[in-house]
């Protein structure tokens, strides 16, 4: 069925995109993906979201060019083994299923850059993720995590980590060693206090809303905060930075004041002690 069709009663539409960039839409009836889909081995993107699937056939592994796969919003109780046999897969969406873990074979997805697995039943951080060097974005929100592995810094490529809606009682100390992380979301946990986070030099966004904290976390000046008291904190920080900037400008202006005739050279050379730039530039 080509693009632009409409699903009949009891059917759901799924989307696929081939190497030519043309999107197709196919009907899924009775939790079954049409066989014609698996014959399209050149597919690059496949969207099977909210299709009521309880399993995925082994034929999925034949789509060796697949780079994006969406299986979110289904009824999967475990990750289909065929998913782990897709070497080019870069974006994988498994949110809102019934997953309690990831198989060891998940570590075979060495090209994976983005994984969304929110809204499942993960009580432990999947160890297979520690073996994915290309992973940049990891969405683990709304699970049952209460701790993170000490080996987490091994994921040196990770830039965004979403941990909202879990069961953390305290700020995971291993995160203090994730100095490459840029986005960190810890909303809706049970964290009562945060350590000094100014050492996370790459951090640009920290979300800590709906935690029982009394004051915003201490972060670097480049970090945007989202949470209770964050607006007031950032306004005060901005005022402080502006005040410092004005003070520096005033000091520079004082240094650049004209030299008086009594103190300066008689021939008039160097009437301004400092013009602009560093001493090497003048």
The whole-number average pLDDT for the span 42-65 is: 92
Within-domain flag for 146? yes
Residue 241, pLDDT score: 58
Element spanning 234, H or E = helix 230-255
Q: Are residues 139 and 251 in the same domain?
A: no
Q: What range defines the domain where residue 251 resides?
A: 229-282
- Evaluate if residue 250 carries a pLDDT over 50: yes
Query: Among 181, 211, 226, where does a domain finish?
Result: 226
The yes-or-no verdict on residue 272 having pLDDT over 50 is no
Report the distance separating Cα 174 and Cα 132, nearest Å. Answer: 18
Residue 145 lies in a domain: yes
| pLDDT value of residue 192 | 96
DSSP β-bridge partners for residue 133: none
169 & 204 share domain: yes
Do 123 and 76 lie in one domain? The reply is yes
Residues 167 and 194 in one domain: yes
Percent of the chain scoring above 70 in pLDDT: 72
For the segment 168-223, what is each residue's pLDDT rounded down to a tens digit? 999 999 999 999 999 999 999 999 999 999 999 999 999 999 999 989 999 999 99
Residues 114 and 83 in one domain: yes
Contact 218, 194 (CB under 8 A): yes
Max mean pLDDT among 50-54, 164-168, 217-221, 265-269 falls in: 164-168
- On whether both 261 and 181 belong to a single domain, the answer is no
Among the residue ranges 25-34, 79-88, 260-269, the one predicted with the least confidence is 260-269
Q: How far apart are the first and last CA of the chain?
A: 72
Model confidence at 6: pLDDT above 80: no
Q: Tell me the DSSP string of 23-57.
A: EEEEEEETTB--HHHHT-TT-SEEE-TTS--S---
Q: What is the mean pLDDT of residues 127-148?
A: 98
Any domain includes 135: yes
Are 92 and 141 members of one domain?
A: yes
Based on the fold, state whether residues 85 and 173 are members of the same structural domain: yes
Pairing state between β 160-162 and 137-139: parallel
User: Are 173 and 236 in the same domain?
Assistant: no
Split at pLDDT 50, 70, 90, the class of 34 is confident
Total domain count, the chain: 2
pLDDT tens-place string over residues 82-131: 999 999 999 999 999 999 999 999 999 999 999 999 999 999 999 999 99
Q: What is the pLDDT of residue 8?
A: 40
- For residues 248 and 154, membership in a common domain is answered with no
Residue 5 in domain: no
| Residues 138 and 207 grouped into a single domain | yes
pLDDT-derived band of residue 278, with 50, 70 and 90 as boundaries? Answer: very low
Give this prediction's pTM. 0.78
In a domain, 3, yes or no: no
Mean local confidence (pLDDT), 232-258: 60
Give the E-state strand segments of the chain in sequence order: 11-17, 23-29, 45-47, 68-70, 91-93, 114-116, 137-139, 160-162, 183-185, 205-207, 224-226
User: pLDDT at position 111, please?
Assistant: 98
Tell me what the pLDDT averaged over the chain comes to: 82
Q: How confident is the model at residue 267 (pLDDT cuts 50, 70, 90)?
A: very low
Domain presence at residue 267: yes
């Amino acid at each position: 069925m080509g693009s632009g069709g409409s699903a009949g009663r009891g059917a759901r539409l799924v989307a696929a995109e081939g190497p030519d960039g043309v999107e197709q839409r196919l009907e899924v009836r009775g939790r079954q993906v049409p066989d014609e889909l698996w014959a399209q081995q050149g597919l690059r993107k496949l969207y099977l979201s909210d299709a009521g699937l309880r399993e995925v056939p082994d034929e999925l592994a034949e789509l060796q060019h697949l780079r994006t796969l969406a299986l979110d919003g289904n009824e999967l109780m475990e990750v289909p083994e065929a998913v782990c046999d897709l070497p080019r897969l870069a974006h994988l969406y498994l949110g809102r299923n019934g997953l309690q873990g990831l198989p060891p074979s998940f570590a075979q997805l060495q090209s994976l850059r983005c994984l969304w697995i929110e809204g499942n039943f993960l009580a432990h951080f999947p160890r297979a993720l520690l073996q994915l060097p290309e992973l940049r974005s990891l969405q683990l929100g709304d699970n049952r995590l209460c701790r993170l592995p000490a080996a987490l810094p091994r994921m040196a490529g990770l830039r965004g980590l979403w941990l909202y809606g879990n069961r953390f009682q305290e700020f995971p100390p291993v995160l203090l060693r994730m100095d490459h992380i840029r986005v960190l979301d810890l909303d809706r946990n049970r964290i009562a206090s945060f350590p000094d986070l100014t050492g996370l030099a790459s951090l640009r966004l920290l979300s800590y809303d709906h935690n029982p904290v009394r004051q915003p976390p201490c972060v670097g000046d480049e970090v945007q905060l989202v949470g209770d008291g964050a607006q007031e904190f950032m306004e005060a920080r901005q005022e402080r930075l502006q005040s410092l900037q004005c003070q520096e400008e005033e000091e520079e202006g004082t240094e650049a004041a004209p030299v008086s005739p009594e103190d300066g050279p008689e021939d008039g050379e160097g009437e301004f002690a400092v013009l602009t730039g560093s001493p090497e530039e003048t």
